[in-house]
Amino acid sequence: MSIPTLRMTEDLLVAILLGDSTIQKKSAKHELKFYLPPNKQKILKMYIEKYKLQSLICIEGVNVETDFFIVSNSLVLERIIREWSDGTSVIFLDPRLLKNSTYMLWLCLFGRKVNNQVIIKQNTLTLDTKHTLIYFFEKTMRTSFLRLNAEGHLKVQAIDELLLASIIDNRPSYESLALHELLTDHSKKSFLQKQEKMKEEMREYACF
């Protein structure tokens, strides 16, 4: 496995582990069971096809009607789960695998707009690990931050800044579209204002 391919594989597996998933053990090996609605399944498919991961990651549908999937038979997943968890809960995070690309994929796959807020349902992280994730996220992303809501799930703020950064950095179009769908009423106004300001700055620059 090449280094770039390994990194893309790690990004996906870490994103799923930190998303709406649970750790399971079968025949002495670990699996990840996760929930992904139809609109998010398209992002997963495009990511796997874009980076040609079909032969490296085994993802199977548990039940088409329930939108649950299982990741299995992955040496990379086994390594991450053994290093990060106690077999049930994530108790440690390796910041070397928590990159901008990892967080972006995580948000696109598992971010949900609920009551005009963007949340990520989390099942595997302990409370201490959630606070560690919040710290690492803010340190890496800079323009956005996380909070815990009353239910203990992660609330993502400043989605407009993340979308703008995605566009400026020329990240995959499916990623920017997914972030755009997560914009709340407030962040939509903020995004449009920042976008217009950026266009104005570009027009001014072009005049010189």
Mean pLDDT of the chain: 89
Alpha carbon distance 173, 197 (integer Å): 22
Confidence of residue 8 (pLDDT cuts 50, 70, 90): very high
Q: How high is the pLDDT of residue 184?
A: 84
Q: 132 CB contacts (<8 Å, ≥6 apart)?
A: 93
pLDDT tens per residue, range 18-50: 999 999 988 889 999 999 999 999 999 999 999
Domains (ranges, CATH) in the chain?
A: 3-206 (3.10.28)
Mean pLDDT value across residues 182-188: 84
Q: What pLDDT is attached to residue 117?
A: 87
Min mean pLDDT across 57-61, 74-78, 164-168, 202-206 is at: 202-206
Looking at residue 2, its pLDDT comes to 82
- More reliable by pLDDT, 193 or 58: 58
3-class secondary structure, 7: helix
pLDDT of residue 206 exceeding 60, the answer is no
Contact 169, 142 (CB under 8 A): no
pLDDT in tens, 58-92: 899 887 678 999 999 899 999 999 999 999 999 99
What is residue 204's predicted lDDT score, i.e. its pLDDT?
A: 57
Sign (positive or negative) of CA dihedral 132, 134, 139, 140: positive
Tell me: pLDDT of 178 over 80. yes
pLDDT for 197 beyond 90: no
